[in-house]
Structure 1
Amino acid sequence: MTKIEDFIAGRSPAEMYETYLVPGFFKPFAEQMIENAVAGSKYIDVACGTGIVSRTLAAKLDDNVSIDALDMAPPMIDVAKQQTVSSVVKYHLTPADALPFDDALFDGAFCQQGIQFFPAKEKAFEEIFRVLKPGGRFYAAIWLPAKEANVVFASFEKAIGRHLGEDLLPLGPFSFGNLERLRRLATDGGFNIETLESRTLLTVLPSIRDLVLFDVLFLGRPGADGSLQPVIRPNDPAGDEIVEQMIAEMTEDLEPYIGDDGRLYTDATTYFLAANK
């Protein structure tokens, strides 16, 4: 059994994503995103992943609201349903550029770290604009390039490029990161921009070993169907040496950020958009 196979231990990438990335890396930004959410009764969470924005929003609001959360990845939706206790959240398997909702239906829309993955970004913005009520607000977050967003993923990208090829870079989550392009997408989609800025929060990532073993599975090569394929095949014994080299190099790079518990404590920076219809 390879190191990656031993690490997986029967878990899906979506389950590991929820375990390793959501609590310390995505939840802090989800909490900040909903702080000033417009008052209303109907919300939509686009590219919801395992549902952290919807779950955080549901915990803040009363039971008289509804939240429609959507994603294109069935495993993400499955984990989101397992993690969600609130009855106000409904999950849908649907793309962002063809929303199955009537015009002017929602008071607020959210999209945390999904825009960079949309194949038809302009259409997605138009669709989000369409389903918002007049005066409805759209809140979105999208990472800066890795070298500006977070030292951990900057180190990971460096290791990926060295051992597996520069053609894999930038990694998908950090592949957009252009403030002016984000501005154009919003204004061309019909939105009035209220806020467009970078925001930095302290985040917690798993140990370097866990991060590398997970991310060589999760942050991979684009497949023909748009899915990400692992950069190292889990059953390839040759991958063990590469993984160990990456762990050693990143441990040296990131020594100042390693806590007593072995986890990584670092700032992360994202672009934040607040706009209205």
Structure 2
Amino acid sequence: MPPKKNTAASSRLLPPLPDIVLEPIVKLALAEDLGAAGDITTDALIDPETGGRWAVRARQAGVVAGLDAAILAGFLIDPDMVFEIAAPDGARVKAGDTIMTIEGYARSVLMAERTMLNFIGRLSGIATLTRLYVDAVDGMGVIIASTRKTTPGMRALEKRAVKLGGGGAHRYGLDDAMLIKDNHIAAAGSIPLALQRAREAAAHLTCIEIEVDNLDQLKQALPHAPSAILLDNFTQADLRAAVKMAKGQTMLEASGGITIENVFAVAETGVDVISIGALTHSAKTLDIGLDAL
């Protein structure tokens, strides 16, 4: 794609995802919207030579995300579309703020409008919710992390939106780290046996994390020195006890039942990471609109 699609690249907190990752996702979204006949409303009403300028504006306060996907959607419809970014990915905006302006043929912009706004709204919603959690534990030294509870096909974009909101990642997929869960333990036979088998199979750079449901399981896991231990649905009292028991031997991750109301109290227990599926599976879409100038 031409470099003009990112006129504010230097101010982005993260580089855009590579087009080879974005294109299949964006093409699928456009194909879903255009169907077999294209935009029959725009084709009927708008002269092919009609041009104009439009502003993408926030209707509510939040954190911007998804511009790379939205801009690629525009370029796939019309490579002559021109974008000027006012608030790059990662920027905080207020209601009424302009995120970017678009110049081009009216047919092209109207054809791409909904797909562009869907990407920005959905991903900005994730970035905004993540920032809410991150701000709630500011200064506590704990990582707010996303999980694999993402929209099918959208994981790369949604994980990036979490990062734009200041969060981290648990795993991107099944292949980037080992996570031994309760069903793995049940099938393997025991916590020690599961960790032994994982250690034998892991490459030297592969992290091994195990999920435990109680303090007794934590006690069983610690001698095997996993890279991290996930404390699943622990009470705050048990989280504090787990931190005391582990004595810094490994990274501790709290997960399950984390809300914006209790996240600070969970961080106070001393865990290293708090993973929250709601960052991606329950984020509300940020209201974004397109206005003619």
Quick check: which has more Rg, 1 or 2? 2
Q: Which has the higher strand share?
A: 1
Asked whether the two chains share a fold, i.e. TM above 0.5, the reply is no
- TM-score w.r.t. length of structure 1: 0.30
